[in-house]
Amino acid sequence: MLTKRQENILKMIVVEYIKLAKPVGSKLICDKLNCSSATVRNEMMQLEEMGLLEKTHTSSGRVPSEKGYRYYVDNLMEPYELNNEEVYKLQTVFNNSQLELSDVLNRSLEIISDITSYTSVVLDTKSHDNKLKEISVVPVSSEILVVIVVTDLGYVEHKNMEVQGVSLDEVKKTVKLINDLIVGTPIDEISAKLEFEVKPVIAKYVKQHEMLYNAFYDVFTDISSKNVSVVGKNNILKHQEFNDVSKLKDIFSKLDDKNLIENIEESNNDINIYIGHENKVDPDVTVIKTNYKTSKDEGTIAIIGPKRMDYDRVVNLLDYIKKQIEG
């Protein structure tokens, strides 16, 4: 158990180190506390023995360890109030009704990346509640058609479809059959339904049924995919812990990794903080993430920065966004 004074010292070291990124010495602390530097040093030694602080070399000041950050985050962190500018900037995005949710998320996290200098990740998945509303087809050339898929919650996707030697009438017949048979189907069940309910029927009524079926099947499998975007990558360059080209390469490649989101995703619905080795992205970063869920979409938003991160601010910004969109 930590004494009140130890907690105070730990907190001051974390806050100071987050601000200045330089190991914190006993002098700086004892100025603010009413005791001598020797006393502080003794306490620091104890905190180090408990694994909450570290030294960069034998005679350096102290730096919080991952465990130290963890203790700070769990016990010492104070809530942060968004300031007017932050709220104002974010509201311009939330109030723009022309935007789809995925755009709202991207833009608001762009803002957050801007004001915090961290990097954001958005994973947006269409909710299973989306049901097929209609498909339509527009011929572009004799062999290419555009298929437009619309769901009842307002998602629109389109894809080129190639068919060879199929008359437009046959295509239209197929479209009508598909519309008749699977309108109202949740998007993640379309593939199955297409195979077991639509395929037999068009096999019966449509001439080049095989080619048409395959073409539509391809279109629908492509459409239900997830959408991941990483915002504010360049902010990585601003942090001195990454002030080294080979480390930069490393981090950038991890941010571009297709599996990035799998390293972040998790079922938990709160705001979660993964410090250093607690996350799977990179041991030198902290990931703060939360999931969101609306009637139309669900997904994850995350902020990635150095372990020396402005924890309270990021947590509260994420919380604000989550509440706004779920809202």
Nearer to a second copy among residue 45 and residue 138 (C-beta) = 138
- Tell me which of DNA, a second copy, none is bound by residue 80, counting a contact when its beta carbon lies within the kind-specific cut-off of 5 to 8 angstroms: none
Nearer to a second copy among residue 2 and residue 186 (C-beta) = 186
Q: Are strands 156-162 and 227-231 parallel, antiparallel or unpaired?
A: unpaired
CB neighbours (10 Å) of residue 83? 10
CB of 239 to a second copy, least distance (A): 10
Q: Looking at beta carbons, which pairs linking 244-249 to residues 24 or more positions away fall under 8 Å?
A: 247/284
Q: Among positive and negative, which fits the CA dihedral 155, 93, 322, 264?
A: positive
* CA separation for the pair 212, 174 (Å, rounded): 8
Q: Are strands 227-231 and 271-275 parallel, antiparallel or unpaired?
A: unpaired
* CA separation for the pair 291, 266 (Å, rounded): 8
Q: Which of 28, 115, 148, 211 binds a second copy (CB under 8 A)?
A: 148
Largest CA distance in the chain: 91
Radius of gyration of the chain (CA): 27
| Residue window 56-95: x/- pattern of binding to DNA, with contact defined by CB under 7 A | xxxxxxx---------------------------------
Kindly state the helix (H) or strand (E) to which residue 45 belongs, with its residue range: helix 37-49
Does residue number 204 form part of the binding site for DNA (CB under 7 A)? no
Q: Which of 15, 25, 206, 242 binds DNA (CB under 7 A)?
A: 25
- Tell me which of DNA, a second copy, none is bound by residue 77, counting a contact when its beta carbon lies within the kind-specific cut-off of 5 to 8 angstroms: none
Does residue number 254 form part of the binding site for a second copy (CB under 8 A)? no
- Tell me which of a second copy, DNA, none is bound by residue 248, counting a contact when its beta carbon lies within the kind-specific cut-off of 5 to 8 angstroms: a second copy
Nearer to DNA among residue 9 and residue 230 (C-beta) = 9
Degrees (nearest 5) of the Cα angle 138, 143, 147?
30
Q: Which stretch binds DNA (CB under 7 A): 49-57, 219-227, 265-273, 283-291?
A: 49-57
- Tell me which of DNA, a second copy, none is bound by residue 67, counting a contact when its beta carbon lies within the kind-specific cut-off of 5 to 8 angstroms: none
Q: Which stretch binds a second copy (CB under 8 A): 191-199, 216-224, 283-291, 304-312?
A: 216-224
- Tell me which of DNA, a second copy, none is bound by residue 37, counting a contact when its beta carbon lies within the kind-specific cut-off of 5 to 8 angstroms: DNA
Q: Which of 6, 8, 37, 229 binds DNA (CB under 7 A)?
A: 37
* CA separation for the pair 40, 26 (Å, rounded): 6
Size of site (CB under 7 A) for DNA: 24
- Give the CA distances from residue 26 to residues 5, 19, 59, 70, in Å, rounded to whole numbers and listed in that order: 14, 17, 11, 22
Q: Assign residue 295 a region (left: φ > 0; alpha: ψ between -120 and 50; beta: otherwise).
A: alpha
CB of 35 to DNA, least distance (A): 3
Binding site for DNA (CB under 7 A): 23, 25-28, 34-39, 41-42, 44-45, 48, 55-62
